[in-house]
Structure 1
Amino acid sequence: MLTNTRSDRVKAVRALSRRSVRSRTGEFLAEGPQAVREAVAFRPAHVRDVYVTPEAAERHAAIVEAARAAELWVHEVSPEVLAAMCDTESPQGIAAVCRVVDVPLEEALAGLPADALVCVLTHVRDPGNAGTVIRGADAAGADAVIVSDASVDIYNSKVVRSTVGSLWHLPVSTGSTVPEILDALRARGITLLAADGAGTTLLHDADLGGPHAWVMGNEAWGLPQEVRDACDDVVRVPIHGHAESLNLAMAATVCLYASAEARRTRR
């Protein structure tokens, strides 16, 4: 069992809380049973090490057994060591060092189905919002999530936790500029739908009949005019009550599920 909180291994894992270290090593830390379970189940080749406390090993025996069956390194550690590795105040007893899973834009868009559904995040800065949108896209059956270069790092621990494992379920691409993303989607015949409160088309009137991508903007200022102009339509979610607006994650989920329902009725 690893018990030394000052060991080089512990320091190396803890250093993954810094973006510069994640970028240099190509690794990040996934914390909690949901994240580790999905990483082991869906992307075992991307899991380098699993760290678990004795209590958590007993509580989450199925995860540990699956990791060992996949021939992954499983290290038993003291609660103090796990706490030193993680940046959450109350770690849930298990974490995994994983290799990054994002793919180039061309790869993410390769082989999209005829009724493709894509979610694009532009200049999204809030980790919780980004992770929740990825989770919503996964739940709605989206085929890919594209995160622009000016957005939050998807390997930020808050993003990873907010995806609740969905980060390992569908193609995610990062690092491309917004114009590059829109051009690549348009070249594949995918309709670009800007989701913005300034839209004149209401969601229930939007044309969701073919392959399309929802383009989501920044939490504070939405989508700039040039991005809205570059899209085929600007769509807004109707507000029936007195709420001023929906936050990014809520609006994205509503739009994605509208697309999922339209897709379901066509199939």
Structure 2
Amino acid sequence: MIITSDKNELIKKIKKLNNKKDRYESGLFFVEGRNNVNEVLKSKFSIRYIIISENYNNNIDFDLNRIIKVPDNLFKKISDTVTPQNIMAIVRIPRYELNTIIDKNNVYIIADEVQNPGNLGTIIRTADAFKVRAVFTINNSVDIYNPKVIRSAMGSIFHIPVVNIDDIDELMNRLKKSCIKIYSTDLKADQYIFDFKISNNVAFIFGNEAKGVNPMLNGYIDGKFKIPMTGNAESLNVSITASICLYESQRQRLIK
């Protein structure tokens, strides 16, 4: 299929997917770039269309009837990047059930009001690297299907469940029923990260870049720890904090 006009109804719908409201109303999001498109093609995600520019020359193993070719200037209009890679996929937003995700002998991440897309994307990518079972977002975190989150995650959003949670009580209660301990970092904590057994059956809460973990979550938290820092920096970036915690969790698993 070839589309040349930005007045085309499908092109209009794709352009709207930059907006969170339109993503959820349509049940669709988009991913850009050859690597990300290859990752979604290998996944179980449902792809509606693949859009390519007229100068895209690589072969695509996909239904030809759902490959749409557009002029370069039109591709730039629907792209979210300054220098487009000339390929994008329009993908259905998946549905996840908590009872199929949460169980024993796993590690989870809860992102609490993490608002920077790059931070959330990096957390997702790190979670994938350290075999986290799922990442949950709560309390107005940046949308998980924000194009910048997708790019920062580098395909990892297609490897592990990443779920936006509206009912925090349901999430926390399901974690507790599966004997998952819930921990958070706190600069004022008395104990260090290595004082805790965090190899498995654990969920880490990582809070807002400026405010930290929301105090309203204290009732769910089983313990707080700090990361030893001997330099002069006041704190760590939230994605770096997540990386350190997941590394220590894996280190404990590997030394058993």
Tell me the matched-pair count. 255
Match of 1:256 in 2: 246
Query: Distance between the aligned counterparts of 2:171 and 2:189, measured in 1?
Result: 21
- Match of residue 154, structure 2, among 164, 171, 187: 164
Match of 1:25 in 2: 26
- Asked if 1:88 is matched to 2:89, the reply is no
Conserved? CA contact 1:5–1:80, under 8 Å: no
Q: What is the one-letter code of the residue matched to 1:55?
A: N
> Moved runs in structure 1, 4+ residues, more than 4 A?
none
Query: Distance between the aligned counterparts of 1:222 and 1:81, measured in 2?
Result: 42
Query: Distance between the aligned counterparts of 1:101 and 1:73, measured in 2?
Result: 19
Query: Distance between the aligned counterparts of 1:8 and 1:191, measured in 2?
Result: 49
1:227-261 deviation line (CA, Å, top 9, x unaligned): 23531110222212222211111111111121122
Conserved? CA contact 2:112–2:214, under 8 Å: no
Q: CA deviation at 1:97?
A: 0.5
Q: CA deviation at 1:54?
A: 4.0
Match of 2:40 in 1: 39
- Match of residue 72, structure 2, among 70, 74, 79: 79
- Match of residue 225, structure 1, among 215, 221, 228: 215
| Aligned CA distance change for structure 1 residues 149 and 105 (closer, same or farther; 3 Å) | farther
1:155-207 deviation line (CA, Å, top 9, x unaligned): 11111111111111011221233333222211110011112323222122221
Query: Distance between the aligned counterparts of 1:177 and 1:250, measured in 2?
Result: 27
Query: Distance between the aligned counterparts of 1:210 and 1:28, measured in 2?
Result: 33
Conserved? CA contact 1:149–1:174, under 8 Å: no
Conserved? CA contact 1:103–1:171, under 8 Å: yes
Task: Please give the residue correspondences for 1:1-267 in structure 2 after superposition, counting only pairs within 5 Å.
Answer: 1-43=2-44, 45-58=45-58, 61=59, 64-65=60-61, 67-68=62-63, 73-109=66-102, 112=103, 114-266=104-256
Conserved? CA contact 1:104–1:173, under 8 Å: no
Deviates more, 1:219-228 or 1:15-24: 219-228
Query: Distance between the aligned counterparts of 1:36 and 1:72, measured in 2?
Result: 17
Query: Distance between the aligned counterparts of 2:83 and 2:112, measured in 1?
Result: 32
Structure 1: give runs of 5+ residues left out of the alignment.
none
Query: Distance between the aligned counterparts of 1:201 and 1:54, measured in 2?
Result: 58
Query: Distance between the aligned counterparts of 2:250 and 2:229, measured in 1?
Result: 20
Query: Distance between the aligned counterparts of 2:191 and 2:219, measured in 1?
Result: 14
Q: What is the one-letter code of the residue matched to 1:50?
A: I
1:58-109 deviation line (CA, Å, top 9, x unaligned): 3xx3xx13x34xx772222221121111222221111010001251333321
Identity of aligned residues (%): 29
| Aligned CA distance change for structure 1 residues 259 and 56 (closer, same or farther; 3 Å) | farther
Query: Distance between the aligned counterparts of 1:72 and 1:200, measured in 2?
Result: 61
Which structure has greater helix proportion? 1
Q: What is the one-letter code of the residue matched to 2:242?
A: A
Query: Distance between the aligned counterparts of 2:92 and 2:240, measured in 1?
Result: 29
DSSP-derived class of the 1:255 partner: helix
Query: Distance between the aligned counterparts of 2:240 and 2:47, measured in 1?
Result: 31
Conserved? CA contact 2:53–2:86, under 8 Å: yes
Two-structure CA RMSD over aligned residues (Å): 1.9
Structure 2: give runs of 5+ residues left out of the alignment.
none
TM-score (ref. length: structure 1): 0.88
Conserved? CA contact 2:137–2:165, under 8 Å: yes
TM-score (ref. length: structure 2): 0.92
